[in-house]
A and B are shown apart, each in its own frame.
Chain A
């Protein structure tokens, strides 16, 4: 036990010298560079993380503005499409109504023409009927007037016919 619990001056001396040496050497040679590069790395990581955050924010901002643009474009497209559709509808309706009108006009014109022709034909027919009936009456009269008896009977009948009034 004596050897264990005793303190030797020489050992204390060497231990002090050795420990102080190692302290100074380690501080200058090892801990300095190690601590500073650890710190640098930690700062590097921190700043990288911060930058990543910024980039992510920027990204989401860009994304939202992209979406905005996209939405606007979609709206624009819809609007243009609707307009075009309305225009084409209008044009088609116009064309339809115009052609309808034209058709109506043509029909009306044709009808008028037909009416005219019909009137003309009727007039012509009437005239022809008149001529024919005069001719017929002439023939008939000629025949009846050649014979006295018949002339008389005719007179009678004519008188009967018209003379009553």
Chain B
């Protein structure tokens, strides 16, 4: 058995592809998984956040250490002293935030940083330079930030402070069109997607009339899954074909972004955990829903049929708000789930390091447990990566279905939607 086959086997085993591929089992299994994981995540996320809050408040209490560095540091000497002091104490909250937040450079680990292009629109002119101008890597593999051309990287927010500004000077915000870590990751995913699906499309042309093989065979179940189990039931036969390309793109885009975030030693991309990116996805869903909304859809929102006048007064604002709430929920769900997954995995890393700070033995002891939990969480995250792509796509398809449904189909569709929304 070749390595690729083993890989495919493992992936399909972890993702329970066989279950998902049969329509009836698929729905039941997906519901079940979703329910369990959302429950699990709520619990674990709150645990992780509680821990993070607990530890990030610590340095504030001590008052001297580096979270507050730019405000407290008066001189460079003091700052470097602070950095040296900070190195002794491991702060789990900072570590986690550092990994899940968007950044202007990719940290591969140790003192290995990949600079990314900074593109700034400030007072009508464009400044493009490498982000390596903002930092120098110190002996501990950490970044010492400094200003460049009057710009300052303040907690990954680019500000304009002017030349020779003091450390506590407050700059004003600039339009930052930089290729950040998340944008870079997204572009990487897009390039991968185009290469992958172009080769698959060519395979389809070459293999016309034959059974699928190779990578085509691995991806085809997912294409069929989106087409037959997401688009078709939600949109009906007539309209499904029109929306399937979008749904497929969204599904594979989100899935691959999620998966890229799980690849270790690649800088820990958190693409779908970046609010700006999920905002765009949700906005596109919102725009498509609104544009394709028919008379019936808008009628239901602004003049709900079959309810008395005073109920309409209550219902119409709720319905109107719901058209914005729905995409917002899409956005938040995706961001929160993916970020939560990253936080949990990082929390287990941090746990071992924290105990290691107390004594090496404790560190190694906790490390064993941490690694086991991390392995488990990684498996879950692989599943969640798929599930969140599925949930986003399914809900988008349902919103499109809502917006385009015909009047005479209303009854059974409504029933269907209630069931879909129930989980």
Contact = CB atoms under 8 A, between A and B. Distances in A.
A14 B179 contact: yes
Nearest first, the 3 A-B pairs at minimum CB distance are A11-B276, A30-B197, A3-B101
Nearest to A35: B244
A90 interface: no
A113 B253 CA distance: 128
A37 interface: yes
A40 interface: yes
A18 B186 contact: yes
B190 A22 contact: yes
A20 B201 CA distance: 20
Contacts of A33: 201, 204-205
Interface in A1-38: 1-16, 18-23, 25-27, 29-35, 37-38
A6 B275 contact: yes
B349 to A, nearest CB: 18
A19 B281 contact: yes
B274 A11 contact: yes
A5 B155 CA distance: 13
B253 A22 contact: yes
Contacts of B274: 11
B337 interface: no
Interface of B: 97, 100-102, 119, 155-157, 175-180, 182-183, 186-187, 190, 193-194, 197-198, 200-201, 204-205, 208-209, 220, 223-224, 227, 241, 244-246, 248-249, 253, 273-277, 279-281, 283-284, 339
A29 B194 contact: yes
Contact of A8 (B97, B193, B276): B276
Contacts of B187: 14, 18
A18 B209 contact: no
A156 interface: no
Contacts of B339: 4
Nearest to A13: B177
Interface residues of A, number: 37
B245 A31 contact: yes
Nearest to B175: A9
B249 A38 contact: no
A37 B212 CA distance: 11
B280 A16 contact: yes
A1 to B, nearest CB: 8
A30 B198 contact: yes
B275 A7 contact: yes
A29 B197 contact: yes
Nearest to B219: A34
B180 to A, nearest CB: 6
Q: Is the interface of B mostly helix, strand, loop or mixed?
A: helix
29 contacts: A3-B156, A3-B157, A5-B275, A6-B157, A8-B102, A9-B177, A10-B178, A10-B183, A11-B102, A12-B276, A14-B177, A18-B183, A18-B187, A19-B280, A20-B284, A21-B190, A22-B190, A22-B194, A22-B249, A23-B246, A27-B245, A29-B197, A29-B198, A30-B198, A31-B245, A32-B245, A35-B245, A40-B208, A41-B209
Contacts of B175: 9-10
Given A3-B102, A22-B193, A26-B197, A31 B208 contact: no
Nearest to A9: B175
Interface in A106-153: none
A5 B102 CA distance: 10
A67 B246 CA distance: 58
Contacts of A4: 97, 100-101, 273, 275, 339
Contact of A38 (B182, B223, B273): B223
A8 B180 contact: yes
A68 to B, nearest CB: 39
B239 to A, nearest CB: 15
B244 to A, nearest CB: 7
B249 A31 contact: yes
A8 B156 CA distance: 11
A35 B208 CA distance: 12
Contacts of A20: 284
A91 B336 CA distance: 107
Contacts of A2: 155
Contact of B194 (A7, A11, A25, A34): A25
A15 B277 contact: yes
A28 to B, nearest CB: 9
Given A21-B190, A29-B201, A33-B204, 9 more contacts: A3-B97, A11-B102, A11-B183, A22-B249, A30-B200, A31-B245, A31-B249, A33-B201, A38-B223
B208 A37 contact: yes
A165 B371 CA distance: 172
A7 B190 CA distance: 21
B98 to A, nearest CB: 9
Nearest to A7: B276
A38 B208 CA distance: 9
Instruction: Please indicate which of the listed interface residues A14, A23, A29, A40 has the most CB atoms of chain B within 10 Å of its own CB.
Output: A14
B342 to A, nearest CB: 11
Contacts of A35: 227, 241, 244-245
A34 B222 CA distance: 12
A50 B136 CA distance: 71
Given A11-B276, A26-B193, A26-B249, A37 B205 contact: yes
B244 A31 contact: yes
Contacts of B194: 22, 25-26, 29-30
